[in-house]
Amino acid sequence: MFSLPKWTTEFVRFLSVTPQFTFTGNILDVYPVEIDGNLTTLRLKDYIRTILVKEGYDIILGLEPFVGFSHLHGDPDTIHAILGDVLSVEKTGPPSLERTVEILQKSVDNRTAYSAIILNQITRHDERYAASDKFFFNLFCTCQNAEPRLLAGSSYPRFNLLIWIHDRDASLPTWYTRDNTRVRQIVVPRPDLNTRRALLESLTKNVPQFESQKESEKKESLSLLVKRTHDLQANEIISLISLVRREILSVSDLHEAVVQYSSGIADNFWKTVDKKQIEDAANFLGARVFGQKHAIKRVCNLLNQAYLGLSYSQYPPELSQPRGFVLLAGHEGVGKTTLACALKDLLLGPDRDMISLNMSDYSDDDACMRMLAFSSMDNGSFLGKIKQKPYSVVLFENIESAHSDVLKLISTIIRDGQIITEEGMLISFSGCFIICTLRLSGCCPNAYQHSHSEEETNKEYLARERTAGESITLFFEEKKSLDFSRFIRGNTIIFRSIQPDAAKQILDAMLTRIFEKISLMFTINLMISPSVREMVEEYCCQDLSRGGISIGQRVEVMLIHPLSRVLIKETFTPEEKVIITHISDSESGWEVILSRV
């Protein structure tokens, strides 16, 4: 048997001691109620009517804006005898305020039958009521003078009720309710656990995906769905099950159904990424990030379990953490951001963007408030973007710079897989792959030793990872971010410093991009002579303290600047072959000479 929720029980309990009630909060939802052994859902006005009928109320009317009084329950002749022609079919509109007050007072004072009138959002939609102090004063006096009646057939006295339904933006005057114990204010919440369970048990009875399960599996699936719909209204839960039925989603996809319903139909890249791409991820990432063989191997392990949906599978299924999480740690220029971008391209493709935040911009005291700000615009807030694209690659860059409150927020995302905004909207991260980058030079530089060996063994890497990992954990603990330090264990990947062989690969990739862009721009075939290539390598790779950043800065000064000066002046014929045959450092800066073949 379905048990009434607490707010309904409160209403019933106070029928004999309170003459007026106000209902606010989740007033536009539907509410389950058992009628003749079957669970059905009703709008609030009809739900209250059903409860009152069960409690012995004989007459129930509604007062609607622009319409006036409507018949909800009771014998019309009895209603006419007590209240007059309130239900006349010849009405051309709502009665005057004076006539309305007269009817309400007659209802409250009558000794013939228990009556209740539901005033449904009249102060929001009808300015006559909202602007009339006289109207409210008369009803205030009616409230104070009301007395409970013991009528025939009743075991205890009851009030004839006035029941207000209104939202928070159009409530009763403050003076009307302040210290007024004759008005009981009831805030209607979203469905509680027991209500959701009863509703879902009823809704899933005829859904084939549920009915085909074993009884134990069905119970587990239902329990999981009850927990994952904790933020939804009852009408949203009904729509959700309709989506499951219509899309023929499997029971294992129930959480995705919740996300899809909350965000609209969103592209789930986890279902479109080809398995072969994940199998070849090490080669794909290795072609973009150089000198980080062990780090890439560790990333691929975490990527595999994220793709299969096995991340955090050792924990109870009601938890809904992000699909995957990695923390990439290393000095500047070792390839952390490059690897994050390569992961984005692998999962989303080159045409889609990841959602990226630089934590250097979130180090001040109001940073957490800015992150929690919600906007549904395409180019709006961080949470707005996640709401629209619940299946995303999310990058928190330079995490060591984040304010401690921001770290707590990110810890919540990693732990719970969701954030609830101040407006009560749930933002899910359970479909996201979350990447954090951390500059070791900015938090624990002494824990990171530059390796000068050309090839690092797995044992050496693990030892270095363990040492750096301990220092990173200590750093966040000292920053009073204990949760964050706990969640990153096992997901922290340490990058090694850039070695000469990796530096050459990085330089080759940079030169290839430069030449391809210039060749496309001028429709020429631009090349570099071996001797010039050797000079560029010697100059650009001599200082690896900042890895690829140092190399890129030197390439810009040595090659891009002088090339730009020359290309501005030159005119080329299509498909012409052009070679950089000379480069030199003069008093005015680097200079290049181009030869045409």
Q: What is the DSSP string of 390-447?
A: SS-EEEEESGGGS-HHHHHHHHHHHHHSEEE-TTS-EEE-TT-EEEEEEEGGGT-GGG
Mean per-residue pLDDT, 404-408: 92
Residue 419 in domain:
yes
Tell me how many domains the chain contains.
Answer: 4
Sheet with 525-528, strands from edge to edge, namely: 525-528, 577-586, 589-596
Instruction: Pull the structure tokens for residue 279.
Output: 């199998």
pLDDT at 219 over 70: yes
Contact between residue 325 and residue 311 where contact means Cβ atoms under 8 Å apart: yes
Residue 56 in domain:
yes
Examine the domain organization and report whether 323 and 258 are in the same domain: no
pLDDT at 247 over 90: no
pLDDT at 451 over 60: no
How do strand 68-73 and strand 115-120 relate by DSSP bridges? Answer: unpaired
Confidence category of residue 240, pLDDT binned at 50, 70, 90: confident
Examine the domain organization and report whether 79 and 140 are in the same domain: yes
Examine the domain organization and report whether 347 and 417 are in the same domain: yes
Examine the domain organization and report whether 85 and 169 are in the same domain: yes
Average pLDDT, the chain: 87
pLDDT at 381 over 80: yes
In DSSP terms, 393 is beta-bridged to 433
CA within 13 Å, CB half, 446: 3
State residue 321's pLDDT score.
85
pLDDT at 454 over 70: no
Mean per-residue pLDDT, 132-144: 91
> Vertex 82, ends 80 and 84: CA angle to 5°?
45
State residue 66's pLDDT score.
85
Query: Of 140-144, 240-244, 348-352, which range is least confident?
Result: 240-244
The owner of tokens 């804006």 is 65
Query: Of 162-171, 328-337, 560-569, which range is least confident?
Result: 162-171
Mean per-residue pLDDT, 301-312: 89
Which of 477, 494, 511 is the last residue before a domain boundary?
494
State residue 469's pLDDT score.
83
State residue 302's pLDDT score.
94
Domain of 552, CATH number, reads 1.10.8.60
Examine the domain organization and report whether 482 and 411 are in the same domain: yes
Instruction: With H, G, I as helix, E, B as strand and everything else as coil, classify residue 166.
Output: coil
Examine the domain organization and report whether 215 and 170 are in the same domain: no
pLDDT at 372 over 50: yes
69-116, pLDDT tens digit by residue?
999 999 999 999 999 888 875 566 788 889 999 999 999 999 999 999
Number of H helices, E strands in the chain: 27, 18
3-42, pLDDT tens digit by residue?
889 999 999 999 989 999 999 999 999 999 988 888 999 9
Residue 98 in domain:
yes
pLDDT at 453 over 80: no
Examine the domain organization and report whether 203 and 163 are in the same domain: no
Confidence category of residue 376, pLDDT binned at 50, 70, 90: low
Comparing 427 with 62, which gets the higher pLDDT? Answer: 62
Examine the domain organization and report whether 394 and 505 are in the same domain: no
Confidence category of residue 448, pLDDT binned at 50, 70, 90: low
Contact between residue 149 and residue 160 where contact means Cβ atoms under 8 Å apart: yes
State residue 445's pLDDT score.
65
pTM tops 0.75: no
Mean per-residue pLDDT, 139-152: 92
Contact between residue 195 and residue 226 where contact means Cβ atoms under 8 Å apart: no
Examine the domain organization and report whether 37 and 162 are in the same domain: yes
Domain of 435, CATH number, reads 3.40.50.300
Q: Of 591, 518, 525, 521, nearest to 559 (Cα)?
A: 591
What is the residue-wise DSSP string for 470-517?
A: HHHHHHHHHTT-HHHHHHTTTTEEEPPPPPHHHHHHHHHHHHHHHHHH
Residue 47 in domain:
yes
Examine the domain organization and report whether 155 and 295 are in the same domain: no
How do strand 589-596 and strand 20-25 relate by DSSP bridges? Answer: unpaired
Instruction: Pull the structure tokens for residue 186.
Output: 């009831």
Examine the domain organization and report whether 420 and 565 are in the same domain: no
Query: Of 38-47, 253-262, 488-497, which range is least confident?
Result: 253-262
Mean per-residue pLDDT, 266-290: 91
pLDDT at 474 over 50: yes
State residue 116's pLDDT score.
96
Residue 324 in domain:
yes
State residue 314's pLDDT score.
73
Rg (CA), the chain: 35
Residue 141 in domain:
yes
Domain of 102, CATH number, reads 3.40.50
Mark 275-294 as b/e (b = at least 16 C-beta within 10 Å): eeebeebeebbbebbbbbbb
Confidence category of residue 378, pLDDT binned at 50, 70, 90: very low
Give the separation between CA 283 and CA 270, rounded to whole angstroms: 20
Percent of all residues in the chain with a pLDDT value above 70, rounded to a whole number = 91
Which of 494, 511, 531 is the last residue before a domain boundary?
494
Contact between residue 20 and residue 182 where contact means Cβ atoms under 8 Å apart: yes
Residue 212 in domain:
yes
State residue 427's pLDDT score.
86
The owner of tokens 């790779």 is 541
Torsion angle of the four alpha carbons 277, 338, 306, 381, in this order, in degrees rounded to the nearest 10: -120
Examine the domain organization and report whether 178 and 228 are in the same domain: no
Residue 1 in domain:
no
Confidence category of residue 531, pLDDT binned at 50, 70, 90: very high
Which of 205, 235, 265 is the last residue before a domain boundary?
265
pLDDT at 452 over 60: no
Give the separation between CA 96 and CA 517, rounded to whole angstroms: 77
Return the percent helix, strand and coil in the chain, to nearest 5: 50, 15, 35
Mean per-residue pLDDT, 322-341: 93
pLDDT at 348 over 90: yes
**Domain residues for 581?**
500-596
Give the separation between CA 546 and CA 554, rounded to whole angstroms: 11
